[in-house]
Amino acid sequence: MSLPSVLTLIADRKAGPLKPEAIDVARSLVKGKAPIVLSEGEAVDIPCPTPGPGAASAATIRATLAPYQVDTLLLKTRGRRKAVLVADMDSTVVTGETLDEMAAALGVGEQVATITRASMNGEIDFETSIEQRVALLAGKSASVLEDVWQNVTLTNGAKELVQTMRKHNARTALVSGGFTWFTQRVAELCGFDENHGNILEIVDGKMTGKLGGPVLGPDAKLTHLEALTTERGVQLRAALTTGDGANDIPMLASAGLGLAFHAKPNVKKVIGTQINFSGLRAHLFAQGYRAADFVTD
């Protein structure tokens, strides 16, 4: 009979293999059983009892293992595999910020980046920030979209995450505060079932500085999550969400497993389940998938 909890350790493969010493430290912290290898030298599950009074907290475990550059997730064994995936795009599924890259190419990079940072850190609300940033693009050629797209890079593990979950009948959605011009292409590249974003208004080949529809911000991300779980016939606890910015907090906090992925400091203060070192493969290990089960192409 399996234990009620599991501590998953995931190493950043680029920084080196998962050290046996790190596993020993983790087992000691949670009074865990022998590790179950999910990926040799990369990820293990450590079955453990439910933490009781005086036990090491998830935050303590994370801090203790951080010097090894190891991500730690202390989760319940039951219901680990999720039926819905909702992912942010910029700095999550793709490595950069597409709007910032557009602005840089158009000569307004620093102005836009300053607003982006303030928004992602929760200093100004998302709706205000997107309107201010888009306004700076007024009159600029829309050809910059294609230029930026040529340099978009998927985060390590993006395709594996989406396609593995789809193989196991999960519904997958890319939901972004970025533009649909990019979400459509990224979703197709990764294999997401659907995508949602903000519509950039373009007239006669130039950006107007306005959006072509309502702002897709933090509340809308949560609404999409709720709609997807309803359509799939499951509760929110059966969903996995991932993102890095303040506009992701509502959906991260509401899902059964919300992972703050290389997130901004204000997000980490709120969301305790974090991926700080490894890539998107960690989201599959968190669900108990073995690397041998991943769909790769």
pLDDT-derived band at 205, boundaries 50, 70, 90:
very high
Question: Which residues are designated catalytic?
Answer: 88, 90
C-beta atoms surrounding 247 within 10 Å:
26
Residue 141: per-residue pLDDT: 97
Question: What pLDDT digit, counting tens, does each position of 2-26 carry?
Answer: 899 999 999 998 889 999 999 999 9
pLDDT-derived band at 109, boundaries 50, 70, 90:
very high
One-character DSSP codes across the chain: ---SEEEEEEE-GGG-PPPHHHHHHHHHHHT--S-EEEETTTEEEEEEPPP-TTPPPHHHHHHHHGGGTEEEEEEESTT-S-SEEEE-TBTTTBSS-HHHHHHHHTT-HHHHHHHHHHHHTTSS-HHHHHHHHHHTTTT-BTTHHHHHHTT--BPTTHHHHHHHHHHTT-EEEEEEEEEHHHHHHHHHHHT-SEEEEEPEEEETTEEEEEESS----HHHHHHHHHHHHHHHT--GGGEEEEE-SGGGHHHHHHSSEEEEES--HHHHHH---EESSS-TTHHHHTTT--GGG----
Residue 13: per-residue pLDDT: 85
Average pLDDT, the chain: 96
pLDDT-derived band at 226, boundaries 50, 70, 90:
very high
pTM score of the predicted model? 0.96
Question: What pLDDT digit, counting tens, does each position of 145-176 carry?
Answer: 999 999 999 999 999 999 999 999 999 999 99
Per-residue pLDDT at 177 exceeds 70? yes
Residue 63: per-residue pLDDT: 96
Residue 132: per-residue pLDDT: 95
Residue 39: per-residue pLDDT: 98
Share of the chain above pLDDT 70, in %: 100
pLDDT-derived band at 118, boundaries 50, 70, 90:
confident
Per-residue pLDDT at 271 exceeds 80? yes
Per-residue pLDDT at 1 exceeds 70? no
Share of the chain above pLDDT 90, in %: 93
Average pLDDT (102-112) is 95
Residue 143: per-residue pLDDT: 97
Average pLDDT (208-233) is 97
Question: What pLDDT digit, counting tens, does each position of 230-246 carry?
Answer: 999 999 999 999 999 99
pLDDT-derived band at 121, boundaries 50, 70, 90:
confident
